[in-house]
A and B are shown apart, each in its own frame.
Chain A
Amino acid sequence: MESTRLKRIVTGLVLVALAALPVFEPHQFVLHMLSLVAISATAALGLQLLLGFSGQLSIGQAAFYGIGAYASGLLSVKLGLPFIAAFVVAGVIAAAVSLVMVPITRLTGASLAVATLGFSILVYLVIKNEEWLTGGSFGLMGIPRASLFGYVLRSPASAYLLCVAVAATVYFSLLRLQRSRFGRAINAIRQNEDAARACGVKVTLLKSQCFVIAAFVAGLAGSLYAHQVRYLAPTDFTFWKSVEILIMVVIGGMGSLFGAVLGAAVVVLLPEVLREVGDYRMLAFGAILMLVMLFGEGGIAGFLEQCLKPFSKPRA
């Protein structure tokens, strides 16, 4: 009980700090980077549900992220749809496309990982080669800024707040799911599929639902990305992006929503921080990833929880 209260306090403080940040008028590059963290965190939260909760290893989330980004960008540029509509439809399209994953939910472990990776490569090639629709290697330009109710979010601060609001909404929604009948059932599937079946859990249905939710969330993140960066290139959505999202979840801590956010922050910000070391940037990045995994399976979130433990126990 004490430990959940402490977590609530920490979560509340983090949220207040994030919302109040623009008051201190940080450099707009900082706000832009933090917006990208929030966008990546959103995609990582979706994968946390899929991998951390239901135990399905997908290396294909960039596909849905890319579909959401291009759907939102194209709907805005070619059809002139307002941002809100493009944003929601992008999520729905990504979710709809994820239904092709239903037949492969019977796969597990490495087979599932490779199948989703294959899907990621496929979507990248479609984006790259269907020039009539996506602009191909030239990319998609002229994507308008996000807007809400006719008010265009021109300032980096307002765009940042939008990204944080979406990430926070996804975070608390998935937290509710985690603590529900649905959340317990997918957790049960991860721990013992046979036993879940014997309890009457429709394993294939629930696994598919997880894919759809994760894809929907990745699609929303993609839409935010499109309107944040305002230029999309196929190279943003190679399988490396899928790997990045996977890294966020694993170093952040499997099964922890807070961990997914921390992992996103690390993966997005670390290369920037490491600019100092120039050519050795990615080398240092790789080494740090390995070090973090030495903390154990709990990742960064698990490590922090260990640190907080002495404070959360009621004194004897």
Chain B
Amino acid sequence: MPEALLEAAGLSRRFGGLAAVDAVDLRVERGAIHGLIGPNGAGKTTLLNLVAGALGVTRGTVRFRGADITRWDAARRAQAGIRRTFQNLKLFAEMSAVENVSLGLHAGTRAGIFAALARTPGERREEQQIFAAAQRALEFVGLGSHAGVAAGKLPYGHRRLLEIARAFVAEPALLLLDEPAAGLNQTEAANLSRLIGRMREAGCTVVLVEHHMDVVMSVCDVITVLNYGRKLAEGRPAEIQRDAQVIEAYLGRGDAPPAGKNARAVA
């Protein structure tokens, strides 16, 4: 098998006695849009946090571009090209939209305290580049005309897009999206699906945690299904929709099936 962009082996994370993620193997191929679904509490966000470095692993390894990054902290992983969004939006509310996105370029830029004090030509050039790139990223997600608005004052759907812009601006190799469609209406969700596709075309590999089945089934190449912290199934969207175990995991909880035409959200 060729080397995958991300390879997690035997990943486990325990909280006290509870195994939130239990010996999960995950292989994300370069250029893929990889869905991560499962009922509430299945361990999707925990798994994402383990990959992003926001949580330490209890057991297992994470390899990214062939390197063992298991002991790297979140900032180092971000610098290496793993960027994420948060399920419950974590924006810098008092900063403008374009400043929020400019933070996404922090790791790739250099100007420090002394360069800022001296206003060196290099520092000024870098500042211009940062804000030009941030503006382009805002336009890419469709927020080009909101650059100067404080993030906390943007409507909800725009805040979701802003977080994506902040993660995308650094041109990450791996983009981890944690329920980007949560709370979006049907039109916004369809836009989001197209945006995820365009980010893949721009060179990002995407891991998508999502409850919104229209989005998952329309954009994902591969879907991994988690249940009680373990991997339940993995395959192409069509396979997952037919998988008896998956249907039972959802139906068994008294929820809507994952593949219904009108099923907006499951679990």
Q: Do A and B come from one complex?
A: yes
Which A residues are CB-close (under 8 A) to B116?
176-177, 180-183
Fill in one digit per residue for B152-186: 1 if any A CB lies within 8 Å of its CB, else 0: 00000000000000110010000000000000000
- Cross-chain contact B117 with A173 (CB below 8 angstroms): yes
Report which B residues bind A (CB closer than 8 A). Answer: 52, 54, 73-76, 78-79, 83-84, 86, 90-95, 99, 102-104, 106-109, 111-113, 115-117, 119, 123, 126-127, 130, 166-167, 170
Tell me, in angstroms, the Cα distance from A184 to B127 when the chains sit together. Answer: 11
Distance in angstroms from A52 CB to nearest chain B CB is 12
- Cβ < 8 Å to B, chain A residues 154-181: 173, 176-177, 180-181
Contact A195/B75 with A180-B123, A181-B130, A184-B102 known, Cβ cut-off 8 Å: no
Which A residues are CB-close (under 8 A) to B99?
184
Instruction: Give 6 CB contacts A-B under 8 Å.
Output: A180-B115, A185-B106, A195-B103, A198-B84, A200-B108, A200-B170
Tell me, in angstroms, the Cα distance from A213 to B86 when the chains sit together. Answer: 32
Among A181, A197, A200, max chain B CB count under 10 A is at A200
Among B91, B106, B126, B166, max chain A CB count under 10 A is at B106
**B78 contact from A173, A177, A199, Cβ within 8 A:** A199
Distance in angstroms from A240 CB to nearest chain B CB is 31
Contact A198/B95 with A180-B116, A182-B116 known, Cβ cut-off 8 Å: no
- Cross-chain contact A197 with B112 (CB below 8 angstroms): no
Fill in one digit per residue for A282-305: 1 if any B CB lies within 8 Å of its CB, else 0: 000000000000000000000000
Distance in angstroms from B38 CB to nearest chain A CB is 23
Whether, in the assembled complex, A141 has its beta carbon less than 8 Å from a beta carbon of chain B, the answer is no
Tell me, in angstroms, the Cα distance from A203 to B166 when the chains sit together. Answer: 18
- Cβ < 8 Å to B, chain A residues 174-229: 176-177, 180-185, 187-188, 191-192, 194-203, 209, 213
Report which A residues bind B (CB closer than 8 A). Answer: 173, 176-177, 180-185, 187-188, 191-192, 194-203, 209, 213
Chain B residue nearest in CB terms to A195: B90
- Cross-chain contact B107 with A200 (CB below 8 angstroms): yes
Tell me, in angstroms, the Cα distance from A188 to B101 when the chains sit together. Answer: 11
- Cross-chain contact B113 with A200 (CB below 8 angstroms): no
- Cross-chain contact B109 with A181 (CB below 8 angstroms): yes
Tell me, in angstroms, the Cα distance from A252 to B138 when the chains sit together. Answer: 35
Chain B residue nearest in CB terms to A200: B107
- Cross-chain contact B112 with A201 (CB below 8 angstroms): no
- Cross-chain contact A199 with B107 (CB below 8 angstroms): yes
Give the interface SS of chain A, mostly helix, strand, loop or mixed.
helix
Chain B residue nearest in CB terms to A1: B148
Which B residues are CB-close (under 8 A) to A209?
113
**B94 contact from A191, A195, A199, A202, Cβ within 8 A:** A191
Tell me, in angstroms, the Cα distance from A201 to B57 when the chains sit together. Answer: 21
Among A180, A184, A198, A201, max chain B CB count under 10 A is at A198
Which A residues are CB-close (under 8 A) to B73?
197
- Cross-chain contact A182 with B113 (CB below 8 angstroms): yes
Which B residues are CB-close (under 8 A) to A181?
106, 109, 111-112, 116, 123, 126-127, 130
Which B residues are CB-close (under 8 A) to A195?
86, 90-92, 103
Tell me, in angstroms, the Cα distance from A296 to B83 when the chains sit together. Answer: 37
Chain A residue nearest in CB terms to B176: A198
Distance in angstroms from A2 CB to nearest chain B CB is 13
Tell me, in angstroms, the Cα distance from A198 to B76 when the chains sit together. Answer: 9
Distance in angstroms from B168 CB to nearest chain A CB is 12
Other than the known A176-B116, A180-B127, what 14 A-B pairs have Cβ atoms closer than 8 Å? A181-B126, A181-B130, A182-B116, A183-B116, A191-B92, A191-B95, A192-B93, A194-B54, A195-B91, A198-B84, A198-B90, A199-B103, A199-B166, A200-B107
Chain A residue nearest in CB terms to B92: A191
Tell me, in angstroms, the Cα distance from A36 to B92 when the chains sit together. Answer: 37
Tell me, in angstroms, the Cα distance from A213 to B117 when the chains sit together. Answer: 12
- Cross-chain contact A198 with B83 (CB below 8 angstroms): yes
Among B73, B94, B103, B116, max chain A CB count under 10 A is at B103
- Cross-chain contact B54 with A197 (CB below 8 angstroms): yes
Distance in angstroms from B140 CB to nearest chain A CB is 17
Tell me, in angstroms, the Cα distance from A187 to B74 when the chains sit together. Answer: 18
- Cross-chain contact A200 with B92 (CB below 8 angstroms): no
